[in-house]
Amino acid sequence: MFYIIGGVATLLLILVIIGLNAGAFYALSTLLNRMVIWHYPGEEVNAGRIGLTIVIAGMLGAVISGIWLDRSKTYKETTLVVYIMTLVGMVVYTFTLNLGHLWVVFITAGTMGFFMTGYLPLGFEFAVELTYPESEGISSGLLNISAQVFGIIFTISQGQIIDNYGTKPGNIFLCVFLTLGAALTAFIKADLRRQKANKETLE
């Protein structure tokens, strides 16, 4: 009973942490065009290019973070560092979006995408480690549902904030929840159950 309760509590915590990050990413991606056009009227084409930059940088980040995690096995440390860098990227993007220089937006958005998308495979792998021996399919499915739910909530909320108060308050809204996610990640106990089971099997 103790292990079941502990596993459920850990899974719920992971669902919230990953949901916050993925939800922020979905909201940002959905509202990116609106935010860019808000500050750079007539730059619809470049808004699309900024979105493409985020995607490409995110793919690179996911590959690099996956390789690093496979070699280092430092699940909690890597996840926490990437989460904090995601927050830093979001803060920098928030306060440079209105500077009037599109090249700055390309750089800050790309950097943010690198860490924000790069976090997703890390989060999923960390969740599998913590919830072992529960099915990977179940935990991955629940994480996807959490990401979608937070994405919907954040997109609607941030859209309303942007419409009423501007882009900066809307992005600060996401920064607050990313800060919460990073703080919660720091409190997770790195109980790598799958690694322990594999080690015991080999021995």
What CATH number is given to the structural domain containing 166? 1.20.1250.20
Please report whether residue 22 resides in a domain: no
Please report whether residue 1 resides in a domain: yes
- Output the CA torsion sign for 61, 133, 16, 185: negative
For range 85-98, the mean pLDDT? 92
| Banded model confidence at residue 87, pLDDT cuts 50, 70, 90 | very high
Query: Which pLDDT value is given to residue 43?
Result: 87
Considering its fold, how many domains does the chain have in total?
1
- pLDDT over 90 for what percent of the chain? 41
Query: Which pLDDT value is given to residue 109?
Result: 92
pLDDT at 195 over 90: no
Please report whether residue 161 resides in a domain: yes
Please report whether residue 24 resides in a domain: no
pLDDT at 191 over 90: no
Domain extent for 57 = 1-15+29-35+43-201
DSSP string for 3-58: HHHHHHHHHHHHHHHHHHHHHHHHHHHHHHHHHHHHHSTT-HHHHHHHHHHHHHHH
Please report whether residue 142 resides in a domain: yes
Query: Which pLDDT value is given to residue 201?
Result: 58
Query: Which pLDDT value is given to residue 134?
Result: 66
Please report whether residue 70 resides in a domain: yes
Please report whether residue 172 resides in a domain: yes
100 phi-psi bin (left φ>0, alpha ψ -120 to 50, beta other): left
Please report whether residue 163 resides in a domain: yes
- Kindly state the tokens that stand for 42: 């007539």
Query: Which pLDDT value is given to residue 135?
Result: 65
Query: Which pLDDT value is given to residue 160?
Result: 94
Q: Which residues contact 73 (CB under 8 A, 6 or more apart)?
A: 192, 195
Count CB neighbours of 36 within 10 A: 23
pLDDT at 200 over 60: no
Query: Which pLDDT value is given to residue 79?
Result: 85
